[in-house]
């Protein structure tokens, strides 16, 4: 009972001392966070073609022909789209070999075919016409990937909103901290604002062709492809800042 009484007395003394701590001149580091959302207005699609043949020139010729057709289709369907060749590759295809017997010399590998391919990146803000463009291109090319995001113009337009939302969150957090410390918000003076948390208080958020053979056979008519369905979705832009607030 004696020890319990002493512990209770010590707790009361500590509590009274904590309540009497002065907060004058205290520097408070306050992280803040803001975010804004907007419907995506830009699509990036990757279209490609690949061919395998024992004759390297024949495979390259067919790839070149199909990519040229695909380029013409995309340019006609969406003249404002930004086009970029991502890659062009040619490499040998080797047959499966039995397990190597120890002690026997390794035989030289001889390719049985050649694999040739090319990829095209298409960036567009014409989302209404995107399904029609992709369907037309799929008659000769394959759709490897597709993702949606915000165009540079849309991102710039959201910058003011993102900064305002983050700064408002700083004010709300500071009001809560001042209340918890038993101080008035008016007693707090904003000393420093570190946008993006660059002071290490918070983590950053982020995000050639081969020559065609003169005797190449004309390609068969391209089949019709049904239009795909796409949902652009939305993008969330975030920002972090750190504010240093000093109490009078």
pLDDT digits (tens, 9 = 90+) for 66-76: 999 999 999 99
Give the structural domain span for 168.
23-41+151-205+234-248
pLDDT digits (tens, 9 = 90+) for 175-208: 888 888 888 888 788 878 887 665 554 444 334 3
Q: How far is C-alpha 15 from the chain's CA centre?
A: 50
**Which CATH number covers residue 53?**
3.30.70.360
Q: Would you say residue 35 has pLDDT above 80?
A: yes
Higher pLDDT, 47 or 5: 47
187 assigned to some structural domain = yes
First CA to last CA distance, the chain: 45
φ, ψ at 135 (rounded to 5°)? -60, -40
pLDDT digits (tens, 9 = 90+) for 197-247: 655 544 443 343 333 333 334 455 556 677 777 777 888 888 788 888 877
Residues 143 and 69 in one domain: yes
Handedness of CA 159, 161, 162, 167 (dihedral sign): positive
Residues 136 and 161 in one domain: no
Residues 166 and 190 in one domain: yes
Residues 182 and 128 in one domain: no
**Which CATH number covers residue 162?**
3.30.110
pLDDT digits (tens, 9 = 90+) for 75-127: 999 999 999 999 999 999 988 776 666 666 677 778 889 999 999 999 999 99
Residues 141 and 239 in one domain: no
88 assigned to some structural domain = yes
Average pLDDT over residues 135-152: 94
Q: The whole model's pTM is what?
A: 0.66
Q: What is the pLDDT of residue 174?
A: 85
Domain total of the chain:
2
Residues 166 and 68 in one domain: no
Q: What is the pLDDT of residue 232?
A: 79
């Amino acid at each position: 009972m004696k020890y319990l009484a002493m512990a209770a007395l010590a707790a009361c003394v500590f509590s009274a001392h904590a309540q009497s701590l002065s907060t004058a001149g205290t520097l408070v580091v306050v992280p803040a966070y803001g975010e804004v959302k907007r419907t995506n207005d830009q699509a990036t699609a990757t279209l490609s073609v690949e061919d395998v043949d024992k004759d390297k020139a024949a495979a390259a010729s067919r790839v070149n022909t199909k990519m040229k057709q695909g380029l013409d289709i995309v340019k006609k369907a969406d003249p404002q789209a930004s086009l970029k060749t991502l890659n062009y590759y040619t490499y040998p295809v080797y047959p499966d070999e039995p397990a190597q017997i120890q002690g026997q010399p390794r035989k030289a590998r001889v390719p049985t075919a050649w694999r040739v391919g090319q990829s095209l990146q298409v960036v567009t803000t014409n989302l209404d016409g995107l399904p029609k463009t992709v369907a037309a291109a799929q008659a000769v090319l394959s759709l490897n990937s597709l993702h949606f995001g915000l165009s540079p113009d849309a991102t710039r337009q959201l910058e003011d909103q993102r900064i305002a939302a983050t700064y408002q969150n700083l004010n709300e957090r500071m009001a809560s901290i001042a209340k918890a410390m038993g101080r008035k918000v008016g007693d707090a003076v904003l000393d420093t604002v570190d946008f993006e948390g660059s002071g290490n208080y918070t983590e950053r958020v982020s995000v050639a062709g081969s020559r065609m053979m003169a005797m190449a056979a004309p390609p068969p008519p391209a089949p019709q492809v049904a239009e795909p369905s796409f949902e652009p979705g939305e993008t969330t832009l975030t920002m972090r800042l750190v504010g240093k607030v000093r109490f009078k």
